């Protein structure tokens, strides 16, 4: 049961992150608007997407999953700081990266005995 719970939590978090990474390469209007609102040049979005994709790939490889989770936590921290800096709403914007991090860490905790031993 724990393994399947871990897989489901991981899948939900990974699906969101894949969408987030892919959309940053499209130049879609919501990406441009979001980058502008946060004070970043829209042409930097693919770089942000590539960084997130690298972290996600590390997370998906069992041997490097913990490193990937730590790097994604840093990525999410930057997202939270950016949202906080421009005064976005707390629960819907600022804390959203925390929700995704909880899915990814919860999934890793449920799937990986090494992580459970550490905690």
Question: Residue 18 is encoded by which pair of tokens?
Answer: 């894949």
Mean pLDDT of the chain: 96
Neighbours of 49 (CB within 10 A): 18
- Residues 72-92 pLDDT 10s: 999 999 999 999 999 999 999
Residue 119 has pLDDT above 90, yes or no: no
Cα–Cα distances in Å, from 107 out to 59, 66, 89, 111?
Answer: 11, 11, 27, 6
Residue 100 has pLDDT above 90, yes or no: yes
Query: What pLDDT is recorded for position 94?
Result: 95
Classify burial at 113, counting beta carbons within 10 Å of its beta carbon; exposed 0-12, middle 13-18, buried 19 or more.
Answer: exposed
Cα 30 from Cα 24, distance rounded (Å): 10
Residue 50 has pLDDT above 90, yes or no: yes
What is the number of structural domains in the chain? 1
Cα 119 from Cα 109, distance rounded (Å): 9
**Which uninterrupted H or E stretch holds 37?**
helix 29-38
Which pairs from 23-27 meet CB under 8 Å and 24+ separation? Answer: 23/49, 24/48, 24/49, 24/52, 25/49
The percent of residues above 90 in pLDDT, for the chain, comes to 97
Domain that residue 110 falls in = 2-118
């Amino acid at each position: 049961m724990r393994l399947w719970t871990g897989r489901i939590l991981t899948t939900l978090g990974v699906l969101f992150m894949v969408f987030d990474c892919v959309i940053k390469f499209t130049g879609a209007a919501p990406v441009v608007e979001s980058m502008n609102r946060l004070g970043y040049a829209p042409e930097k979005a693919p770089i942000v997407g590539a960084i997130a994709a690298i972290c996600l790939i590390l997370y998906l490889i069992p041997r490097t999953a913990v490193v990937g989770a730590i790097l994604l936590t840093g990525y999410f921290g930057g997202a939270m700081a950016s949202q906080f800096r421009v005064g976005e709403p707390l629960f819907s914007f600022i804390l959203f990266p925390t929700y995704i991090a909880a899915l990814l860490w919860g999934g890793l905790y449920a799937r990986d005995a090494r992580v459970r031993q550490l905690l």
